[in-house]
Amino acid sequence: MDKSKPVKIAIASGKGGTGKTLISTNLASYISEKTDCLLVDLDVEEPNSKIFIEGDFSLQEEIFKAIPQWDESRCTLCGACTTNCKFHAVLQLGTMVAVFKELCHSCYACSELCPEEALPMKPHKIGEIGILKNGALNFMECRLSLEEEQAVPLINQAHEYVNQHFSDSSIQLFDCPPGTSCPVIAATKNTDFVVLATEPTPFGLNDLRLAIETMRGLNKKFGVVINRYGIGDDEVENYCISEEIPILARIPFDRKIAEDYSQGKIAVRGNEKLRKAISELFINIENHLNHD
Amino acid sequence: MTEIVVLSGKGGTGKTSVTAALSVLIGKEAVIADCDVDAANMHLLLEPDFSESYDFYSGEIARINSELCSQCGRCQQVCRFGAIDFNEDGYKVSELDCEGCDYCRKVCPEQAIEMLPRKSGILYKSNIRTGTKMVHATMGIGADNSGKLVARVKAEAKEIGQKENKSIMLVDGSPGTGCPVVSALAGANYALLVTEPTMSGLHDLKRVVKVIQRTRMKMGCIINKSDLNPSMTDEIHQFLGEENITLLADLHFDTEFNKAMILKKTIVETDSPIKLQIEEAWGKIVETISKK
């Protein structure tokens, strides 16, 4: 590992509820026993890593995206903005121009191509970040406002914030949204390694395949963690072996782990089974990063 | 036709397992829409025949014709998405980053940029083993899951349902609170929530309930794995009471869900006591939706 640059590790999955947050929070806690670690919750639609992190936010900041604001006094109603917006977010309705902010992609085309400068870009709040420090663990939560539908602008800004404010944090973990679409691409972007969480069931396998296809398409280095190992069948394991995909760890199905999770507890401190799996995961990630 | 959308907020709570079980219970009377297009799983339990398939296009993507390009760099200057790369071969569009805003094409002095339709997935209409039809889809890698594909899946299912005089349209939604969820909710009559008694489960449930409350639709909730954390289950009961959401069932943790899944069956096709509970829950839903 290059010690001068932070190592960025994403924890993702195709299927939801396979243990991304369990892995992220316990891995962060385990690493921070030894060294500085930053955990960023990028599951902005449903951020819930904070449940497992002790302490209150010491800093909260609002995050904005730029949207055009109609300046009636300058507008000549030429209609260029409506033509220039591919997302139907700017519409001329009679003698007024309406901006539908939830459709706006902040491309600036309407604003910068307006001959009268009648659509200046103004900040619009899309979410919040919260930051706290707990010993060697830095934690950052990113939460999308409930009126907002687009997760990507917030995720992109969170990455920028991390680069600006946490460049000395040597290990950075990113708890990603589920799925394989645009929010996951944004969340895993510029990370060095992706941990894909799955479970040994037909649903788990189906969604793991989609996630793997996505990671291959992005040329990402990745490995798999099988959570609730023992609850289903061997198909996930067989698939990984036949595709030569590294299995980084197997977290055994254990009612105690599930109960601790349900209560918002970090199980890695007291549960030997989980501790063994998480330490194995960390060693395997380090090995993969050191080997190339 | 009554439209029922199944949502959860948090992933992995059993949303799809419950939806598939209801599909089997209702049988021919229902048309099914799998709107969790990001990680579609219903096909694993309902054996669709993929009898009709259509490519789905959504939005556009820019392409630079290098023969016309004079390498002025104007496109790169205006692109807010960092989607224009430059190397020894000249300027090139990064397909994963391009949002299709068309700004670069408009400012290119050489008219070297064209916008092409972006294929974002495949939509299927299938006959399934319950004697009815299902509309489902697969999304392309990193595709823009803005809810357009979800809207299309729903529209197709609705058309089939109306043509074939179905009384129920059953929609499996995606986790989260963003575009695909909002899109799945549009036009629906009833929201069925599936949650689990974990702090994360309740946290995410509360967020998705807030989004659903913008509509006026009735809600009912199934608590899966309710015995995992009885005090959290009590807390969810209390929340449901406060929000006037019907408690439909408390389902105990049962490995039959996984065993059934491996056999490509649903829980109502096993001897599990949960079968009866799902039937009762369905009875309560029918009671609510037939009240109007």
Tell me which chain B residues have a C-beta less than 8 angstroms from the C-beta of A127: none
Give the DSSP per-residue string, B49-61: ---EEEEEEEEEE
Distance set, CA A267 to CA A26, A159, A196, A257, A258 (Å)? 7, 28, 20, 6, 9
Contact A146 B44 (CB under 8 A): no
Query: Cα distance from A291 to chain B (closest Cα, Å)?
Result: 28
Q: Would you give per-residue pLDDT tens digits along chain A (292 residues)?
A: 555 789 999 999 999 999 999 999 999 999 999 999 999 999 999 999 999 999 999 999 999 999 999 999 999 999 999 999 999 999 998 899 999 998 899 999 999 999 999 999 999 999 999 999 999 999 999 999 998 888 999 999 999 999 999 998 999 999 999 988 889 999 999 999 999 999 999 999 999 999 999 999 999 999 999 999 999 999 999 999 999 999 999 999 999 999 999 999 999 989 999 999 999 999 999 999 988 6
Q: Does B82 touch chain A (CB under 8 A)?
A: no
Interacting residues of B14 by C-beta distance below 8 A, sequence separation 6+? B8, B194, B196, B222, B224, B225, B251, B257
- Is A93 part of a structural domain of the chain? yes
Q: What is the largest CA-CA distance in chain B?
A: 71
Contact A86 B59 (CB under 8 A): yes
What is the CATH number for B69?
Answer: 3.30.70.20
Contact B229 A112 (CB under 8 A): no
- Is B52 part of a structural domain of the chain? no
Query: Cα distance from B158 to chain A (closest Cα, Å)?
Result: 24
A241 in the same domain as A168: yes
Dihedral sign computed on CA atoms, order B102, B106, B108, B113? positive
Report how far Cα A174 is from the mean position of its chain's Cα atoms.
6
For chain B, positions 188-207, list CB contacts with chain A under 8 A.
Answer: 196-201, 203-204, 207
Per-residue pLDDT band at B140 (split at 50, 70, 90): confident
Q: In the listed set A84, A119, A154, which residue is the last one of a domain according to the structure? A: A119
For chain B, positions 224-263, list CB contacts with chain A under 8 A.
Answer: 225, 228-229, 232, 255, 258, 261-262
A59 in the same domain as A175: yes
A58 in the same domain as A79: no
Distance CA B58, CA B119 (A): 6
Domain count, chain A: 2
Q: Which helix (H) or strand (E) holds B202?
A: helix B199-212
Which pLDDT does position A3 carry in this prediction? 59
A147 in the same domain as A49: yes
Residue A213 belongs to what domain range? 7-63+127-290
What is the CATH number for B205?
Answer: 3.40.50.300
- Is B54 part of a structural domain of the chain? no
Query: Cα distance from A140 to chain B (closest Cα, Å)?
Result: 17
Q: Which helix (H) or strand (E) holds B218?
A: strand B218-223
Bridge-based pairing state of the strands A171-175 and A137-144: unpaired
Bridge-based pairing state of the strands B52-64 and B113-127: antiparallel
Tell me which chain B residues have a C-beta less than 8 angstroms from the C-beta of A48: 10, 199-200, 203-204
- What is the percent of chain B where pLDDT is above 90? 91
Domain count, chain B: 2
Q: Which helix (H) or strand (E) holds B91?
A: strand B90-93
- Is B42 part of a structural domain of the chain? yes
pLDDT digits (tens, 9 = 90+) for A194-236: 999 999 999 999 999 999 999 999 999 999 999 999 999 999 9
Contact B178 A150 (CB under 8 A): yes
B186 in the same domain as B146: yes
Distance CA A217, CA A230 (A): 30
A278 in the same domain as A194: yes
B230 in the same domain as B135: yes
Per-residue pLDDT band at B179 (split at 50, 70, 90): confident
B136 in the same domain as B85: no
Query: Cα distance from A92 to chain B (closest Cα, Å)?
Result: 18
What average pLDDT is seen over chain A?
A: 95
Which pLDDT does position B292 carry in this prediction? 62
Query: Cα distance from B291 to chain A (closest Cα, Å)?
Result: 31
Contact A107 B179 (CB under 8 A): no
Q: Confirm if A113 and B106 have CB atoms less than 8 A apart.
A: yes
B267 in the same domain as B233: yes
For chain B, positions 102-161, list CB contacts with chain A under 8 A.
Answer: 102-103, 106-107, 139, 141-147
Residue B65 belongs to what domain range? 61-119
Determine the residue of chain B that is closest to A106 in CA distance.
Answer: B80
A286 in the same domain as A269: yes
- CA-based nearest residue to A37, from A155, A187, A166, A193: A166
pLDDT digits (tens, 9 = 90+) for A252-287: 999 999 999 999 999 998 999 999 999 999 999 999
Distance CA A15, CA A247 (A): 17
- Is A2 part of a structural domain of the chain? no
B43 in the same domain as B72: no
B231 in the same domain as B132: yes
Residue type for position A201 = T
Distance set, CA B5 to CA A111, B18, B79 (Å)? 39, 12, 38
Which residue is associated with the tokens 């036709």? Answer: B1
Tell me which chain A residues have a C-beta less than 8 angstroms from the C-beta of B103: 84, 107-109, 112-113
A93 in the same domain as A193: no
Distance CA B262, CA A108 (A): 50
Distance CA B45, CA B170 (A): 15
pLDDT digits (tens, 9 = 90+) for B64-105: 999 999 999 999 999 999 999 999 999 999 988 899 999 999
Which residue is associated with the tokens 């198909």? Answer: A235
A217 in the same domain as A251: yes
- Helix H, strand E, coil C: the string for A58-120 is CEEEEEEEEEECCCCCCCCCCCHHHHHCCCCCEEEECCEEEECHHHCCCCCHHHHCCCCCCCC
What is the CATH number for A80?
Answer: 3.30.70.20
The neighbouring-strand residues paired with B116 are: B61
A131 in the same domain as A115: no
